[in-house]
Amino acid sequence: MSHHKTLNKSSNSDIGSRLRRLSSSIGPVTVSTTTTLLTLGICYVNVGRIVDALRTFEVMDDYDCVRDVILLNSLMSAICGSGRVIEACNYLQTAKKFVRPDYDTYSILMGCYPGIRFFGIVLDECVRVNDIRRVEFFWEIMLGKTKLQPTTAMCSSMIAIHCYHGDNDAMNMLDGMVYKGDFLNSFTYNLLFRFLIKGKKLWEASKMFTEMVLNGRVLDQLNCDVAVRVYLDNGDSVMAINCLGMFGRELP
């Protein structure tokens, strides 16, 4: 269960009463409200009440405060500094519903907890927003500095974003996966096949087709239609027939 789901009304009431006490010493609930809430959040961190600390970040809109990545980073830094790094990393998935993390957010977490789970979250977010520069930055850190081995799902995500950007590194990543004995799912195979067909790399696409057959994967409807047309236009009726015959026959 996520932190977001465990936060309740009693937590809101407690935060409200503490906010009023803090703001009475700092000033009226205006410009200083954001600072007051952040101070309250850090106070909660200091006494080990991480759920309440995170809640102060979530309720900022209720007090007409601007909830931005700077505040998120301040809170993440405080939580990591208290030794609750895994909880900070876990909360990142919920925090993304409110603000978009930046390099500093990931740097704070990476400095304390550069585990495979962290990199999985980061890569998923980079792929989601199609940020290839950031995804390559963290990929190089993961493989180079931490020596962690990516999961098959992470490799598939990297292949997908390189395909979207028309980058030949997608094929290099596939070669690395095959060398390790990892295999793609049908979705990622189809992304690669579409990338090759679109780039008129028919010889490479034919090799990809053969590999898909060997691994029990199939072409989707779009790839089947496009491949049949492209191969026929290029005089390769055998491959056109093979693609047509393969459609929809995935092995269990």
pLDDT tens digits, one per residue of 99-156 = 988 889 988 988 877 788 888 888 888 888 888 888 888 898 888 888 888 888 888 8
C-alpha pair distances (Å), 2 with each of 11, 52, 119, 147, 165: 15, 13, 19, 29, 33
The answer to whether the beta carbons of residues 210 and 146 sit under 8 Å apart is no
Q: In terms of DSSP H, where are the helices of the chain?
A: 3-6, 9-26, 33-46, 50-58, 69-81, 85-95, 103-112, 116-128, 132-141, 152-164, 169-180, 186-198, 202-214, 221-233, 237-246
Q: How far apart are the C-alpha atoms of 122 and 32, rounded to whole Å? A: 32
207 in any annotated domain: yes
- CA 214/CA 199 separation, integer angstroms: 23
State yes or no: pLDDT of 201 exceeds 70. yes
- Indicate the residue among 41, 60, 82 that finishes a domain: 82
Predicted pLDDT of residue 167: 78
Q: Which residue from 169, 184, 192, 180 is spatially nearest to 216, judged by alpha carbons?
A: 184
In-domain check, residue 123: no
Percent of the chain scored above 70 by pLDDT?
83
In a domain, 92, yes or no: no
- When the pLDDT of each residue in the chain is averaged and rounded to a whole number, the result is 81
Given this model, what pLDDT does residue 40 score?
A: 82
Average pLDDT over residues 72-78: 93
Closest CA to 217 of 183, 172, 168: 183
Residue 218 structural domain: 178-252
**Does 52 fall in a domain?**
yes
Q: Summarize pLDDT for 206-227 with one digit per residue, the tens.
A: 999 998 888 888 899 899 999 9
Give the confidence band of 2 by pLDDT, cuts at 50, 70, 90. Answer: very low
Chain centre to alpha carbon of residue 155 = 12
- Asked if pLDDT for residue 24 goes beyond 80, the answer is no
Last residue of a domain, one of 50, 82, 114: 82
End-of-domain residue from the set 56, 82, 108: 82
Query: Is it the case that residue 173 has pLDDT exceeding 90?
Result: no
* pLDDT number for residue 27: 47
Read off the pLDDT band of 229 (50, 70, 90): very high
pTM across the whole model? 0.66
> Confidence band (pLDDT; 50, 70, 90) for 5?
very low
Confidence of residue 85 (pLDDT cuts 50, 70, 90): confident
Q: Please give the Cα distance from 171 to 179 (Å, whole number).
A: 12
Which pLDDT band holds residue 38 (cuts at 50, 70, 90)? confident
Considering the chain, what percentage of its residues have pLDDT values greater than 90?
21
- CA 221 – CA 236 distance, rounded (Å): 19
Task: Classify residue 145: in a domain, yes or no.
Answer: no
Give me the half-sphere count of Cα atoms (radius 13 Å) on the Cβ side of residue 67: 20
Whether residue 79 contacts residue 45, with contact meaning beta carbons closer than 8 Å, is answered with yes
Output the six-digit token pair for 140. Answer: 């190089």
| In a domain? residue 150 | no
What's the rounded Cα separation, in Å, for the pair 233 and 230? 5
**3-state class (DSSP) for residue 83:** coil
The Cα–Cα gap between 14 and 93 comes to 25
Tally of domains in the chain:
2
Length of the chain measured in residues: 252
What does the pLDDT read at residue 41? Answer: 86
Structure confidence at residue 78 (pLDDT): 93
Q: Is residue 215 part of a domain?
A: yes
> Do the domain assignments include residue 228?
yes
